[in-house]
Amino acid sequence: MAYLPPNLHAWVVTSYEDIEFVLRDPRFCKSIDEAMALFRANSPDGEQARERSSLLYDNMANNDPPAHTALRKPLNSAFTARAVATKREAMEELADSVLDAVAGRETFDLVQDFAFPYSISVICGMLGVPREDRGTFHAWVQTITGDAAATALARATEQMVGYLSKLIRHKREGDADDILTQLAVSLDEPQAVAQAYALLAAGYETTANLIVTGFLTLESTPEQKARLWRDRSLVPTAVEEMLRHQSPFNLSLYRYTTESAEVGGVTIPAGSVVFLAFAAANRDPERFTDADTFDFGQPRREHLAFGGGLHNCIGKHLARLETEVAFHALIERCPDLRVVMPRERMEWKASPTFRGLRNLTVGPGPLPARSCAPGKRAAS
Contact between 192 and 184 (Cβ < 8 Å): yes
Which one of 216, 238, 318, 330 is in contact with ligand HEM (CB under 6 A)?
Answer: 318
Stretch that binds ligand HEM, among 13-21, 167-175, 203-211, 362-370 (CB under 6 A): 203-211
Nearer to ligand HEM, 199 or 329 (CB): 199
Q: Any contact of residue 311 with ligand HEM (CB under 6 A)? A: yes
Contact between 311 and 304 (Cβ < 8 Å): no
Letters for 232-251 (x = contact with ligand HEM by CB under 6 A, - = none) are: ----------------xx--
Nearer to ligand HEM, 61 or 273 (CB): 61
Contact between 363 and 107 (Cβ < 8 Å): yes
Q: How far is the CB of 181 from ligand HEM (least distance, A)?
A: 16
Q: Any contact of residue 198 with ligand HEM (CB under 6 A)? A: yes
Contact between 228 and 234 (Cβ < 8 Å): yes
Q: How far is the CB of 267 from ligand HEM (least distance, A)?
A: 22
Tally Cβ neighbours within 10 Å of residue 20.
18
Nearer to ligand HEM, 110 or 305 (CB): 305
Tally Cβ neighbours within 10 Å of residue 116.
24
Nearer to ligand HEM, 143 or 250 (CB): 250
Tally Cβ neighbours within 10 Å of residue 247.
25
Q: Any contact of residue 202 with ligand HEM (CB under 6 A)? A: yes
- Maximum pairwise Cα distance, the chain: 62
Which one of 90, 313, 341, 346 is in contact with ligand HEM (CB under 6 A)?
Answer: 313
The number of residues in the chain equals: 380
Q: In 134-151, which positions are buried (b, 16+ CB within 10 angstroms) versus exposed (e)?
A: beebeebbbbbbbeeebe
Nearer to ligand HEM, 59 or 365 (CB): 59
Q: Any contact of residue 3 with ligand HEM (CB under 6 A)? A: no
Nearer to ligand HEM, 287 or 311 (CB): 311
Which one of 117, 128, 203, 365 is in contact with ligand HEM (CB under 6 A)?
Answer: 203
Strand residues in the chain grouped as ranges (E): 10-13, 28-29, 108-109, 255-257, 261-263, 266-268, 273-276, 338-339, 361-363
Q: How far is the CB of 205 from ligand HEM (least distance, A)?
A: 9
Nearer to ligand HEM, 161 or 279 (CB): 279
Stretch that binds ligand HEM, among 83-91, 293-301, 307-315, 325-333 (CB under 6 A): 307-315
- Helix, strand, coil shares of the chain, percent, nearest 5, are 55, 10, 35
Tally Cβ neighbours within 10 Å of residue 233.
10
Q: Any contact of residue 314 with ligand HEM (CB under 6 A)? A: yes
Contact between 339 and 192 (Cβ < 8 Å): no
Q: Any contact of residue 61 with ligand HEM (CB under 6 A)? A: yes
Binding residues for ligand HEM restricted to 118-177, rule: CB under 6 A: none
Q: How far is the CB of 23 from ligand HEM (least distance, A)?
A: 7
Say if strands 28-29 and 338-339 run parallel, antiparallel, or are unpaired. Answer: unpaired
Q: Any contact of residue 282 with ligand HEM (CB under 6 A)? A: no
Q: How far is the CB of 1 from ligand HEM (least distance, A)?
A: 7
- Helices 189-219/150-173 angle, 10° precision: 120
Q: Any contact of residue 355 with ligand HEM (CB under 6 A)? A: no
Binding residues for ligand HEM restricted to 205-224, rule: CB under 6 A: 206-207, 210
Q: Any contact of residue 57 with ligand HEM (CB under 6 A)? A: no
Half-sphere exposure of 209 (CA within 13 A, CB side): 25
| Total of residues contacting ligand HEM (CB under 6 A) | 24
Contact between 112 and 359 (Cβ < 8 Å): yes
Q: How far is the CB of 364 from ligand HEM (least distance, A)?
A: 27
Q: What is the DSSP letter of 270?
A: T
DSSP of 157-202, one letter per residue?
A: HHHHHHHHHHHHHHHHHS--SSHHHHHHHHS-HHHHHHHHHHHHHH
What does the binding site for ligand HEM look like in residue numbers (CB under 6 A)? 60-61, 72, 198-199, 202-203, 206-207, 210, 248-249, 252-253, 278, 305-307, 311, 313-315, 318-319
